Chains A and B, each alone.
Chain A
């Protein structure tokens, strides 16, 4: 339709590798990961020691980052990213922390941190 005005760029054409190829067809991560699980590199492995997608994921984990963010940055479905990240957990390259299921959403200390952090942005 509009392909003449907007030629198909890489992003539009979609990934060249099918998402689940990256995870070797696996859809079940070994570690329990949630969209809001935070992951961070342990520094035990260098990205150069890993395959491309794992290395890219590891590079994103230098600072604590959520599974959802890794998924968005690498443009891969969350389920694929969970498999990749659980591989990295298994080899000790990253640590993961699932959100606390019993989180106290009325915790005044956390709410104050939220308020202060937001007000600093005004």
Chain B
């Protein structure tokens, strides 16, 4: 832990900061977002409080200037060091509806999202699906299989969610690091094929 007080960082070294890659984990309240983030993170799941200034609830997005309110939102996130030049940050979106405005800010610069679904309360993930579809953020759906939930086949879930055929649906156990990491692998492959097919 010796701290080298001498300036031994060359300017070239200083300019080479890693690239942060942001992915989101969304879904209804209590669907397992925090668990998911915690099980893939290399560090203990962390939480921070961010102060947000947002148009007050009930003010439509399009009106532009509404009353502004300042709110503190607790955010869970995790980190995976992918290689010396890339760090993955995984942010759980606030589950409560009244924090919907936080999603815009979190979605800026996000590469993609996992929408977690619970088959006992599928409708809870509708707001997240709508949000990402409208915003054009690429996402996949991961069904977090709770022990007490009935097992549905992915295609049944697809029909129930009215999802396009190109959006992957996987089942997972958010508590299991390998299972949760596989969800992120599926998301990444989806992002790669979506990127390849979009002409930019």
- A95–B4 Cα gap in the complex (Å)? 16
Contacting residue for A106 out of B6, B82, B198, CB 8 A = B198
Total residue contacts A-B, CB cutoff 8 A:
139
Interface size, chain B (Cβ < 8 Å): 56
Contact B192 A108 (CB under 8 A): yes
Q: C-beta contact mask, B89-121 vs A, less than 8 Å → 1, else 0?
A: 100000000000000000011111000000000
Of all chain B residues, the one with the shortest Cβ separation from A77 is: B49
Give B1 Cβ to nearest chain A Cβ, in Å.
Answer: 9
Give B142 Cβ to nearest chain A Cβ, in Å.
Answer: 14
Give A81 Cβ to nearest chain B Cβ, in Å.
Answer: 8
Contacting residue for A66 out of B79, B182, B189, CB 8 A = B79
- A47–B4 Cα gap in the complex (Å)? 11
Interface size class of A (residues with CB under 8 A): 35 or more
Chain A contacts for B66, CB-based, 8 A:
none
Give B173 Cβ to nearest chain A Cβ, in Å.
Answer: 15
Contact A108 B88 (CB under 8 A): no
**Which among B3, B79, B80, B110 has the highest number of chain A CB atoms within 10 Å?**
B3
Contact B86 A68 (CB under 8 A): no
Give A117 Cβ to nearest chain B Cβ, in Å.
Answer: 3
Check if A87 is an interface residue, CB within 8 A of chain B.
no
- A73–B45 Cα gap in the complex (Å)? 11
A36-B89, A66-B89, A105-B112 given; A77·B82 CB < 8 A = no
Chain A contacts for B182, CB-based, 8 A:
122
Contact A68 B77 (CB under 8 A): yes
Q: Which residues of B contact A (CB under 8 A)?
A: 3-9, 14, 17-22, 40, 43, 46-51, 72, 75, 77, 79-83, 85-89, 108-112, 138, 177-178, 181-182, 184-185, 188-189, 191-192, 194-196, 198, 200
